[in-house]
């Protein structure tokens, strides 16, 4: 608010009386603030939803075929909050340790710093939709300028990975794999046309991920690895280079 309006508001508050002019200006300011918060909330919800469905999709690709007595995992659903559960590295570390996972750092040498993290409950289902396995992941967003990366860690079921990696790098005896994907994010009731279904079957770098509010096409880069039984996924939708993702993997592994 301007200084003039602030002084008028103070005078009005002192007497608990608002002029019609002040009421209009105050209401306008409040509407503007509400609209700004709504835009921010929508943006965060979009980032969060996109992250959840993307991690679920890459789990299938990295884990591949995992078979249990109840059946084979063919789909994954991840449940989490839109807001951050943990806003400090200390709280994030507590959550990781309580779920038998490694503590994620507060920042990396290339400048990415913790924005916030979440605990997510994951369910693996068979073709009939029956849950055959459950596990917990801890995910954290890191920000540098206008770019984000997300790191997710969890003790996923072992399986046979589907598809070859686009590049690999051995770090301290651990193989880290790089992959890229083109996502078509869509609402749960979305029905793809024949051309899109054909592409999903023929293009190993293309996948449809259901769970967003609207249809969108986005590119993502991933580096994944397994350390001491914990599977890590490092991903970005913001054009973070393969080399930068490998650098982050190195700091998590060493």
Q: What is the pLDDT of residues 144-187, one digit of tens each?
A: 999 999 998 988 776 555 567 899 999 999 999 998 888 888 88
d(CA 174, CA 183): 28
Query: Are 171 and 254 in contact, with CB atoms under 8 Å apart?
Result: yes
Q: What is the pLDDT of residue 60?
A: 57
Report the share of the chain in percent with pLDDT over 90: 37
Q: Which of 27-36, 112-121, 236-245 has the lowest mean pLDDT?
A: 27-36
Locate the domains of the chain by residue range.
3-253
Q: What stretch of H or E contains 67? A: strand 67-68
Q: What is the pLDDT of residue 123?
A: 78
Query: Are 237 and 222 in contact, with CB atoms under 8 Å apart?
Result: no
Best CA proximity match to 151, nearest among 215, 73, 89: 89
Report the share of the chain in percent with pLDDT over 70: 65
Query: Are 148 and 164 in contact, with CB atoms under 8 Å apart?
Result: no
Identify the bridge partners of residue 144 per DSSP, sorted by sequence position: 147
d(CA 149, CA 151): 7
CA geometry: angle at 62 spanning 246 and 60, to 5°? 140
DSSP state of 229: T
Q: How far is CA 28 from CA 23, 25, 35, in A?
A: 8, 5, 11
Q: What are the φ and ψ backbone dihedral angles of 79, each rounded to 5 degrees? A: -115, 130
pLDDT at 84 over 60: yes
Q: What is the pLDDT of residue 162?
A: 59
d(CA 27, CA 238): 37
> What's the predicted TM-score (pTM) here?
0.71
Q: How confident is the model at residue 41 (pLDDT cuts 50, 70, 90)?
A: very low
Q: Average per-residue pLDDT in the chain?
A: 77
Chain centre distance of CA 211? 13
d(CA 108, CA 114): 9
pLDDT at 39 over 50: no
């Amino acid at each position: 608010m301007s200084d003039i309006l602030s002084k008028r508001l103070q005078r009005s508050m002192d007497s608990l009386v608002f002029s019609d002019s002040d009421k209009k200006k105050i209401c306008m300011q409040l509407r503007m603030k509400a609209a700004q918060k709504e835009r921010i909330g929508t943006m965060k919800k979009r980032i969060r939803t996109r992250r959840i469905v993307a991690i679920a999709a890459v789990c299938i690709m990295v884990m591949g075929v995992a078979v249990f007595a109840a059946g084979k995992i063919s789909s994954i659903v991840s449940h989490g909050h839109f807001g951050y559960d943990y806003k400090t590295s200390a709280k994030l570390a507590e959550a990781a340790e309580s779920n038998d996972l490694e503590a994620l750092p507060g920042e990396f040498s290339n400048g990415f710093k913790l924005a916030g993290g979440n605990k997510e409950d994951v369910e693996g289902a068979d073709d009939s939709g029956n849950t055959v396995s459950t596990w917990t992941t801890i995910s954290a967003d890191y920000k540098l300028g206008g770019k984000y990366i997300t790191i997710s860690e969890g003790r996923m079921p072992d399986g046979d990975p589907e598809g070859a990696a686009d590049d690999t790098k051995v770090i301290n005896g651990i193989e880290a794999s790089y992959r890229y994907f083109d996502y078509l994010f869509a609402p749960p009731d979305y029905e793809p046309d024949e051309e899109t279904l054909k592409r999903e079957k023929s293009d190993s770098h293309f996948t449809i991920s259901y769970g967003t509010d609207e249809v969108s096409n986005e590119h993502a880069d991933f580096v994944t690895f397994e350390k001491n039984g914990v599977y890590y996924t490092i991903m970005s939708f913001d054009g973070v280079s393969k080399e930068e993702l490998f650098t982050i993997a190195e700091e998590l592994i060493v």
